[in-house]
Each structure stands twice: as structure tokens, then as C-alpha cells.
A = this chain, B = another copy of it.
Amino acid sequence: MKSLKNRPIGIFDSGLGGLTVVKSIRQCLPSEDIVYYGDTARVPYGNKSRTTIVRFAHEIMAFMMKARVKMVVVACNTASSLSLRSLKKTYPIPVIGVISPGVREALSVSKNKRIGIIGTKSTINSKSYEKEILKLGGKACRFFSKSCPLFVPLVENKFLNNKITYDVAQHYLGEFKSRDIDTLILGCTHYPILKQVIKKVMGNINLVDSSFVVSKEVQMLLDKKDLTRFSKKTQGTLKIFVSDDVEGFRSAAGIFLKEKIMVKKVVL
């Protein structure tokens, strides 16, 4: 039996977006093995109900338990917002999401404590970011949130830095301008791909990519629980599983991850 330290880290997302978390963890913790699950047959999660997202998340967790992971990162903001509490209650391994790390980062970089949050409909409706800001930052913080449901299809269809994407960003983010925010949480793994466009609209404010900062949280948690893997290998393994077509995923993954990947299909 593999010692606990040598077991992989499980990471899951509705589709491709969680690969930004994979990338960040591979940079930060290169010795760790990773098992990734992208639920591409049922993507997107962002406009679906809490009950459905919780059901999907539990199905994926059952897969992760079979893969004998030592911890799980819910790399999807929607699944983090809607299912994290239920997953934490149910499984005996550590499960972390992307909400708390994002909020911590936002609070540390914001000077005026006026923070904008953008995400999918389900993430924004869940108020998960707002609750976490109040919990970690207190009542002096001000937050302003907005769902941006067209950002995901724009990214997935490679409308990355053109006029249409700019107009959509203007449509969604325009209202933040009068709010005097100095920090904007990109509360969806796809949104960092649109950083340039968002910056054009919002000017010089802090953009918080929670999928990037989550790797620090993973590192702290592994250290605290004495679960960090030390290995002379320069790079741990990366096993990717998806619920839809392997080829489609592999070709699209290049937007997020610049390494050759092996992908297998597993329907849950």
C-alpha cells in the first residue's frame, strides 16, 4: 500500500478550467502526483442547481476515493460554492475549494476593502464569496458581485481578446466602475483567460485568480498534516480523466496547460 504521503492529490472541475489549478500546483509542488477529473459530458456547472451540482460532486468524490487520493481540491468555483460543505462532512480526507483562498488573497491585496466578485450564475447566487469575505474580513469590507454567464462560452470558443468579448465585458463590468473597487475576484477558472480584456475595461485594479493562489493553500495544508511528498523525481505524474471525448479535451487543454497530457475517459 502506498504511504499516505505518496498518494496523489485529486483535483476536479466541470471541465477544462481546473487545469489552471493543476498548472499552479505542478509549479508549486512539483513532486506531487495528480489525478484530475473533468466532467466534460455534463459541463457547464455554472447555470445548474445546487442539488444537481452536489450530486455531480459526490459522484466525482467517489471516483477520487477509489483513486486513493490523499486530499481533494474542488477546482471549480461553482462546485466549491455549492458542494464543499457537503463533501467535507462526508469524506474522511481533506477537501478544499477555491473560495477561501481567493478571498484571503483579495483581502491581502485590497487597500480600500472594496472588492468586486464575478462568477457564474450559480456561484454568485450562492453568495459563497460574500459570506467568506464577511467571515474573514469583517463587516468593514464592501463587496459588489455580478454573474457573467457569457464569459465561459466566449473563452471556450476562443473569443479571447476581440471587440465582441470587450463589449460583453463592458456590459457586465461597467457597473463596477462607480463602485470604487480596488480588487476584483475572478470567481471562475475560465476568467483569468480574459484578464487582458477585463483589465482594459477595469483599468489598473488587482485581479485575483483564486485558482492560482489555491496552490499555496494546498501546500500549507499538506505541510500541516505531514502529507507533503518529497521525491527526487523532478515532476510527479499527472493522470487526467474526463467524462466525454478524450480528443476534444486534449486539443482544448492547450489554452490552460502547456504540457503534453494523457487523458482517459471514465463515465461516472
User: Chain A: residues with CB nearer than 8 A to chain B?
Assistant: 40-42, 47-49, 51-52, 55, 149-150, 152-154, 156-157, 159, 163-164, 167-168, 171, 243-245, 248, 267
Nearest B residue (CB) for A51: B245
> Which A-B residue pairs are the 10 nearest by beta carbons?
A49-B245, A153-B153, A52-B244, A42-B42, A41-B52, A149-B157, A164-B167, A48-B244, A49-B244, A150-B153
Min CB distance A76 to B, Å, is: 15
Min CB distance A193 to B, Å, is: 16
Contacts of A243 in B (CB 8 A): 52
| Copies of this chain in the oligomer | 2
Rounded to whole angstroms, the CA-CA distance of A229 and B156 in the bound complex is 45
Rounded to whole angstroms, the CA-CA distance of A154 and B267 in the bound complex is 29
Contacts of A149 in B (CB 8 A): 153, 156-157
Rounded to whole angstroms, the CA-CA distance of A41 and B14 in the bound complex is 12
Rounded to whole angstroms, the CA-CA distance of A40 and B48 in the bound complex is 8
Contacts of A49 in B (CB 8 A): 244-245, 248
Min CB distance A131 to B, Å, is: 21
Interface contact B167-A159, CB-CB below 8 Å:
no
Rounded to whole angstroms, the CA-CA distance of A55 and B47 in the bound complex is 23
Interface contact B41-A48, CB-CB below 8 Å:
yes
Interface centre among A48, A51, A152, A154 (most CB of B within 10 A): A48
Rounded to whole angstroms, the CA-CA distance of A243 and B51 in the bound complex is 11
Min CB distance A123 to B, Å, is: 15
